[in-house]
């Protein structure tokens, strides 16, 4: 427990147990209405804070970080991804930046399987039919989807989430292929087939799961050219970041029938997603809820606070990224 309580700006509403711990150990500036602050509002509130606990919804670009008051010592992100936060700018200002790895892995892998199953078995289409009271018959040709069991799954990005997704997919007897910057050790591969060249993997993918981070080199990684290399009728799922998929190319492939379906939890410009997705029957859509379990959201908050506790105690935080 910290003796002289630092002041912590909490940009969004957090789980009750996390906020209780903040009230115990910090002078918390909370956001009870869970309202997204404008840049000016954020900077105004930062004037009273020693550290910030933001989410991926906050814009902490270089321009914003340059305007932060000198008293800000740390940015403890309530997220694994830090693409919303300019790490180089924070480093120049001497601001420690952390994230929350590991604790989202199981929840995000679970959601990836949900996206695969929901897209393959036309779940959203069927639910809409029932909710509208329009289901009135059955026949062998009714609501026929794609079976997941025994199919080939390609994973782009075999980090923590990719590896657990592969483990869950093996429960469906899927054959796992993956593309990664580096090949995994055999004990982590568990029989998965490594492709140093993405183009060699794509023709083998009945399902393709995007699990890579948002980096300059992954922007629009799945584009029209690469979609064309997938088998006809393949299914694409994305629980990583919207930026890794060329949305124009994805929508065109879904409309043409090149892809049978897609399952999406992340989008460019979210929450303002393109209407094309909502108008397509062969897309299973979720609102960026990969980490949305009680267990995971608590663990994310506690991990962020563990990092802050270390920083204000003069120790190196476990999850420092800048």
**DSSP strand pairing (51-53 vs 193-194):** unpaired
Q: Give pLDDT, residue 79.
A: 96
Cβ of 89: how many Cβ atoms within 10 Å? 19
269: pLDDT strictly greater than 80: yes
Q: What is the pLDDT of residues 174-224, one digit of tens each?
A: 999 999 999 999 999 999 999 999 999 999 999 999 999 999 999 999 999
Q: What is the pLDDT of residues 154-165, one digit of tens each?
A: 999 999 999 999
Q: Do domains 7-103+293-312 and 105-285 have the same CATH topology?
A: yes
The architecture that CATH gives domain 105-285 is 3-Layer(aba) Sandwich (3.40)
2: pLDDT strictly greater than 90: no
- Report, as residue numbers or ranges, the catalytic residues: 241, 270, 288
Q: What is the mean pLDDT of residues 217-243?
A: 98
- Fold classification of 7-103+293-312 is Rossmann fold (3.40.50)
Q: What is the pLDDT of residues 66-110, one digit of tens each?
A: 999 999 999 999 999 999 999 999 999 999 999 999 999 999 999
Average confidence score pLDDT of the chain: 97
3: pLDDT strictly greater than 90: no
> What are the domain boundaries of the chain?
7-103+293-312, 105-285
Q: What is the mean pLDDT of residues 50-65?
A: 97
pTM to 2 decimal places: 0.95
Q: Give pLDDT, residue 4.
A: 84
1: pLDDT strictly greater than 90: no
Using 50, 70 and 90 to split pLDDT, how confident is the model at 288?
A: very high
Q: What is the mean pLDDT of residues 132-159?
A: 97
Q: Give pLDDT, residue 287.
A: 98
């Amino acid at each position: 427990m910290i003796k002289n309580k630092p002041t912590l700006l909490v940009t969004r509403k957090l789980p009750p147990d996390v906020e209780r711990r903040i009230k115990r150990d910090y002078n918390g500036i909370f956001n009870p209405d869970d309202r997204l602050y404008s840049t000016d509002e954020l900077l105004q509130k930062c004037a009273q804070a020693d550290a910030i606990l933001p989410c991926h919804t906050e814009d902490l670009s270089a321009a914003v970080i340059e305007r932060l008051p000198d008293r800000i010592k740390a940015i403890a992100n309530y997220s694994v991804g830090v693409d919303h936060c300019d790490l180089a700018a924070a480093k120049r200002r001497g601001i420690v930046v952390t994230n929350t790895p590991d604790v989202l892995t199981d929840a995000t892998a679970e959601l990836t399987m949900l996206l695969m199953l929901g897209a393959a078995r036309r779940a959203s289409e069927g639910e809409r039919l029932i909710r509208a009271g329009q289901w009135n018959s059955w026949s062998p040709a009714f609501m026929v989807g794609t079976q997941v069991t025994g199919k080939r799954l390609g994973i782009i990005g075999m980090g923590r989430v990719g590896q657990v997704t592969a483990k869950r997919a093996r429960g469906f007897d899927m054959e796992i292929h993956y593309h990664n910057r580096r090949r995994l050790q055999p004990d982590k591969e568990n029989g998965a087939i490594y492709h140093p060249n993405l183009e060699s993997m794509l023709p083998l993918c009945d399902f393709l799961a995007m699990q890579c981070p948002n980096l300059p080199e992954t922007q629009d990684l799945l584009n029209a050219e690469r979609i064309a290399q997938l088998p006809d009728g393949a299914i694409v799922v994305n629980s990583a970041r919207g930026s890794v998929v060329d949305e124009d190319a994805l929508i065109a492939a879904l409309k043409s029938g090149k892809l049978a379906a897609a399952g999406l939890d992340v989008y460019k410009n979210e929450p303002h997603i393109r209407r094309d997705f909502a108008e397509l029957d062969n897309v299973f859509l979720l609102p960026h809820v990969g980490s949305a379990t009680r267990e995971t959201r608590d663990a994310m908050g506690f991990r962020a606070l563990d990092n802050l506790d270390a920083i204000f105690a003069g120790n190196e935080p476990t999850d420092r990224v800048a």
